[in-house]
Structure 1
Amino acid sequence: MNLTHPFNMLYDLCIAGSGPAGIITGLEYSRLNPGKKILIVEYGHAGKNDRNSLDDSIKVHNNVNHYGPYECTNKGLGGTSATWGGRCVMYDEIDFMERGVTGDDCTWGMDILKDLTPYLPKTAEYFECGEPVFNLNEIKEFKNTHIAEGFEEGFVTDSVIERWSMPTRFGKRYAEQLKASRDIHILEGYEFRDFKAPDEKGNVTSATIRNVLTRQRLEITAMKFVLASGAQETTRILLRNKQLFRNLDAVPAALGHYYQGHISGKIASVVFNGNPNKTDYGFMKSRDNTYIRRRFQFTPDFLKENNLLNTAIWLDNPLYYNPLHRSGAMSFMYLAMITPILGKKLAPPAIAQSITKGKRTGINEHIRNILRELPHSLLTPAAIFYKRYLLKRKLPGVFLFSPENKYALHFHSEQVPHYENRLYLDEDQETLHIDYTLTDDDINSVIKTHKALDSWLQKCGCGKLTYWYEEDELYEAIKNMSRDGMHQSGTTRMADSPRKGVVDSNLKLWGTSNVYVCSSSVCPTSGQANPTFLLGAFACRLAKHLMMN
């Protein structure tokens, strides 16, 4: 990582952003192209303050369903991987298919999934999440096993899994490798500002960056540019630089629009009929010692036939803040999480919020739970603390055994690509506004997939769902509990023309010949998966494309 920065150098590649996408793109391009000069420009810097001008200039207009900027992203080398949970999930075939529920707004296709497949092994290496196999039936020791006694696969499946990273903090993990490279320059504390307009052939020769502290502007010249600054900041840069589209008839109408995340929460529990000791309620370990976990999902045919959004549902704990769970271990962990200093060390703000729901309630009842189950109230959290914080490959989360074979169900569902969900700049060209809401289709699909799961479990004789709300209360409950902003996608979506999207299938910005976007913002649909692992695959694929073009 060369710390001298000859600004008059013509770089082969300039990357804006040093999160997983930027780091993977840079390292892969360097590996494939020895001797090529790469500059990675990162907004964050050593000794940075708790606050920054980018996050301070974001205005969220729906604080019920969208987290604030400081809860969603991180600045600095490694980007948001600094507080990433480590969940690696692959998108499903249904996410790339045209469907009634997404209308004409699924603007990528199955060819994209096919093109990404060869890059999954290298992606898994970067994320340190084991072999890139996401179905238990393809893993010998788990083939034809099930989540609970009596379960059978049909239109509901239990074999698709999530894999877990260390979690890998890309800044710490790859700092030495970047430092050892003679070809990669890291420039921290600079904001990517303005592009020079493309020439008639679409070639962009330079961009202006600005020192975060001194406000000094510098010009960077490069053969190719990649925007990998996260969905919000990448979109902000493009909204500010509409001259990049001068060779088109108009700025792509999709730019900044179709902003999506995931709708998530808990509205029901599942009660299994079989032996509680035979229920896979928590994490399993694969043969490479990687943590994996089951989830309920639905087949593509079922989703298409019933016009439903892709949804994953997994077993979870009851609500921590409600002492009626009567678990001393859960009460101890809840009290630890709401303790001001300790709580911040145990989990990032958004994850802590999802656990505690911001509630401080039932303290005396929680203490009684702890006292009633001593010493297990302390021994269980101690064992979890050791596995979760002191080992290299950390226990990804906490799931507690239920002797009643009853578990809360956590849903994580796709959103409809909705044009009015958008990012846009104020007249000052600095303030980024976020308009974000949940649609009727988003919410009703969650209700219908739960009913489908209940129906299938009862048909198998495996179990049944018990709802936490009356049926006529479900819609409002889901609308008020779901909050995202961490899984940002859609605002620079991929399409086969600038009439439908912002980048082409190779992530190249329409209207240019050498500016690319490597961000989850290119995903036209959000699927059931968080986009981190898929984005890594896009980064590996992009590095290969840049080498050949």
Structure 2
Amino acid sequence: MFIDGRKVPQGTVVETDLAIIGAGAAGIAIAREMIGAGLKVALIESGGFDFDPETQDLYEGEIAGADYPLTSSRLRYFGGSTNHWGGWCRPFEPLDFEARDWVPYSGWPITRAELDPFYIRACEVCQIRSTAFDDPSAWAEKGKPLALAGGEVETRFFLYSPPTRFGKKYRPDMERAKNITCYLNSNVMEIVPTENGAEVDRLEVGTLSGVRFTVKPRACVLAAGGIENARLLLLSNSVEKQGLGNRHGVVGRFFMEHPHIPSPATFLVTERNLLADWYRTYTKMVTGAGDVVIRGCLMFSEDYLRRERRMGSVITFSPVRPVMAEPEMLPAGASEEEREAAARRSAEDEMFRGILQLARSTNSAASPSGEIGWRLGVGCASEQEPNPASRVMLSQEKDALGLPRTKLDWRLKKSDADNLRANLEAVARAFGGWGEGRVQILFSERDEWTEAEGWGNHHLGTTRMAADPKLGVTDAECRVHGMSNLFIAGSSLYPTGATVNPTLTLVALALRLSDHLKRRFALAAATE
């Protein structure tokens, strides 16, 4: 059932078993798991079913660090940012969950093995008809991986969600569910705890039209996104003056993104057919459940990352184009037939033709003039080192509800740039050793990295998980340290960001949290 919060009578008190703040991927995934579970659920969403500029403006804020599109990188209506999600899916690697002594503040309080069963379920929720992310049989008919040398660089795969628009896909489930009420156009203005701050007492909810009402839950999940989760905890300061979960000053810190570099290098290969199709475009593989869209990429072996003490990067390729040493020249006495054939070739190659851009590896001289081949467009995303100085704070500016806006201080470190540069050098070595390709690195060494070339709209780390309350906001069960009934869902939980898109993992974590909540309520019922 859906209720427009603007039509709720002023001062209404809604009592419920579970309140979920935010109807994006995590919030909707949890709500679906609660259908028929014998619990009353209130799903509270700031927006309606469609984009609304006034509601979206609540995301506006202040930028203190690297320039960032604070408002446009998220969507504030039912379905959340899945309404503009690209659908890229891949699990994190086992190494991503480990405490790495070369990555400060790394280490999750859970392992990849603990999350594996939930990754399988998350693929179902995200409408991916396979879990064969690195199964060679999934791409055997499409070609073989590049035979790169050295064992440092490997082929990995992304599988694509359609992409699932959670708001549209799962709206009928919410409408039919008798135990779930979704309050639209309703903004949680504060999570109010009991006097000792040990548990959530109530949620104060407001609409842009001026209606105010209260939700009193037995348990609460905050699932408002990687930036808004931290902001709402900081705003909830009527009892805990530094904000909920923030007794050690961790809330909002460790904001991470995936810096995207649109042209970090140029790649030249001798023959187009040496490139498997899935390196340069989307490819469908056929499974018993139907077609699955995949894309091959280059990532780095665990041995390399451990040995060289590096963080991950992912290299993706776009369509190849021929590189000509020089335009085709016809002799003065060429026949009409020869001229017509040359004109056809010229028309075919017009958008590609140009002077050869010499390709070189990081440790070799330029190739001799006249080398020809196929040039690859390439993109790159990279992991960031967790940095407590990169953070979400509250601005002095106020939004339409009278609440402090977000202030984001996103910081990139020289070590992030050095890591990416070293990974590109590893790719260059792999291509050079292969003998059929060359790499010219365009990502320069730098003394500092203050401005990002690009980003993934991935908001990570601001309410990180940790066993130690001094290092994180939640425990391994996603429960806020020091509070008995406040939980967090979403990519703000990530202690480290890995190098792949966050949605599949945040859905897996949401499903894991759902199971925990159902067990918790069942145990409470058994002891009552």
TM-score by length of 1: 0.77
The equivalent of 2:343 in structure 1 is none
2:297 corresponds to which residue?
295
Q: Which residue is 1:407 aligned to?
A: 376
Alignment deviations for residues 31-74 of structure 1 (CA, whole Å, 9 cap, x no partner): 5x1x311111111125653243754541123464x22312x000
Q: Does 1:447 align with 2:421?
A: yes
SS of the equivalent of 2:101 reads coil
Equivalent AA in structure 2 for residue 440 of structure 1: K
Greater shift, 288-297 or 426-435, is seen at 426-435
After TM superposition, the structure 1 stretch with the greater mean CA deviation from structure 2, 5-14 or 267-276, is: 5-14
Q: Does 1:146 align with 2:144?
A: yes
> Which of 28, 48, 52 is the matching residue for 2:55?
52
Tell me the amino acid that sits aligned with residue 272 of structure 1. V
Which residue identity lines up with residue 409 of structure 1 in the other structure?
Answer: V
Deviations 1:327-364 (A, max 9, x none): xxxxxxxxxxxxxxxxxxxxxxxxxxxxxxxxxxxxxx
Q: How does 1:320-359 map to 2 (within 5 A)?
A: none
Q: Deviations over 1:371-395 (max 9, x none)?
A: 9459999xxxxxxxxxxxxxxxxxx
Letter in 2 for 1:310: G
Q: Distance in 2 between matches of 1:141 and 1:47?
A: 38
Q: Report if the CA contact (8 A) 1:253-1:501 is conserved.
A: no
Stretch of structure 1 that moved more, 2-11 or 200-209: 2-11
Q: Which residue of 1 aligns with 2:236?
A: 241
Counterparts of 1:477 and 1:420, CA distance in 2: 15
1:267 CA displacement: 1.8
* 1:201–1:241 distance in 2 versus 1, CA, 3 Å: closer
User: Deviation at 1:120?
Assistant: 1.6
- Partner SS for 1:426: strand
Shift of 1:278: 4.6
Give the deviation of 1:466 after TM superposition: 2.2
| Counterpart contact for 1:61–1:434, Cα < 8 Å | yes
Q: Against the structure 1 CA distance between its residues 140 and 210, is the aligned structure 2 distance closer, same or farther, given a 3 Å change threshold?
A: closer
Distance across 1 between alignment mates of 2:452 and 2:226: 23
- Report how far residue 308 of structure 1 moved: 1.3
Q: Name the residue aligned to 1:79.
A: 80
Q: 2:409 aligns with which of 435, 457, 461?
A: 435
- Of 207, 211, 215, which residue of structure 2 is paired with 1:216? 211
CA separation in 2, counterparts of 1:272 and 1:474?
A: 25
Please point out which of 308, 311, 314 is paired with 1:312: 314
Corresponding residue for 1:390? none
Q: Distance in 1 between matches of 2:221 and 2:179?
A: 17
Higher mean C-alpha deviation, range 444-453 or range 483-492: 483-492
1:88 aligns with 2:89: yes
> Partners in 1 of 2:452 and 2:320 — Cα distance?
15
Contact 2:233 2:245 in 1 (8 A): no
> Structure 1 68/241 Cα, relative in aligned 2: closer, same or farther at 3 Å?
closer
The Cα shift of 1:258 comes to 0.7
Which structure 2 residues correspond to residues 356-371 of structure 1 after superposition, within 5 A? Answer: none
SS at 1:271 equivalent: strand
The CA deviation at 1:273 is 3.5
Q: Which amino acid aligns with 2:123?
A: A
Report the CA distance shift for 1:376/1:310 in structure 2 as closer, same or farther (over 3 A).
closer
- Aligned 8 A contact 1:14 1:224 in 2: yes
Deviation of residue 300 (structure 1)? 1.8
Task: Report the Cα offset of residue 201 of structure 1.
Answer: 8.7
Deviation at 1:232, TM superposition (A): 1.1
Aligned residue in 2 for 1:516? 487
- Structure 2 distance, partners of 1:210, 1:248, is 19
Q: Report what 1:330 is aligned to.
A: none
What does residue 332 of structure 2 align with? none
Unmatched 5+ stretches in structure 2? 322-326, 328-345, 353-371, 398-402, 521-528
Paired residue for 1:365?
none
The offset of 1:256, in angstroms, is 0.7
Q: Which moved more, 1:127-136 or 1:528-537?
A: 127-136
Q: Distance in 2 between matches of 1:446 and 1:255?
A: 28
**CA–CA separation in structure 1 for the residues paired with 2:34 and 2:53:** 32
Cα pair 2:223 2:488 within 8 Å, conserved: yes
- Correspondence for 2:357: none
Alignment-mate amino acid for residue 85 of structure 2: W
Report the structure number with the largest CA radius of gyration.
Answer: 2
Counterpart Cα distance in 2 of 1:450 and 1:374: 29
Question: d(CA) in 2 for partners of 1:145 and 1:182?
Answer: 50
User: Quick check: 2:62–2:395 contact (8 Å CA) kept in 1?
Assistant: no
Residue 28 (structure 1) aligns with: 33
Deviation at 1:540, TM superposition (A): 0.6
- Deviation of 1:130 (Å): 1.9
1:312 Cα deviation from its structure 2 partner: 0.9
Determine the structure 1 residue equivalent to 2:108. 108
> 8 Å contact 2:195–2:239 — kept in the other structure?
no
Fraction of identical pairs, as percent = 23
1:42 aligns with 2:16: no
3-state DSSP of counterpart to 2:430: helix
**How far has the Cα of 1:257 moved from its partner?**
0.6
SS of the residue 1:542 aligns to = helix
Question: Contact between 2:233 and 2:244, CA under 8 Å: does it hold in 1?
Answer: no
Secondary structure of 1:510's counterpart equals: coil
CA distance in 1, matches of 2:519, 2:238: 27
Q: CA deviation at 1:97?
A: 1.6
In angstroms, what is the RMSD of aligned CA positions? 3.3
Tell whether the 8 Å contact from 1:492 to 1:521 is kept in structure 2 after alignment: yes
Q: Any idea what SS the aligned residue of 2:286 has?
A: coil
1:413 alignment partner AA: S
CA distance in 1, matches of 2:489, 2:437: 43
Q: How does 1:381-420 map to 2 (within 5 A)?
A: 404-420=373-389
Match of 2:182 in 1: 186
Q: Is the CA contact 2:270–2:373 (under 8 Å) kept in the aligned structure 1?
A: no
Separation (CA, whole Å) in 1 of partners of 2:179 and 2:286: 37
- Aligned partners of 2:207 and 2:274: how far apart in 1? 58
TM-score normalised to the size of structure 2? 0.80
- Unaligned residue ranges in structure 1 (runs of 5+): 320-325, 327-370, 378-402
Alignment match, 1:493: 464
Within 2, Cα distance between the matches of 1:543 and 1:432? 29
Is the Cα contact below 8 Å between 2:79 and 2:167 reproduced in 1?
A: yes
1:398 aligned partner: none
Deviations 1:489-526 (A, max 9, x none): 11100000211100111110111111111021110111
Of the candidates 138, 161, 168, which is equivalent to residue 165 of structure 1? 161
Number of residue pairs aligned between Structure 1 and Structure 2: 465
Partner Cα separation in structure 2 for residue 47 and residue 267 of structure 1:
37
Corresponding letter in the other structure for 2:475: D
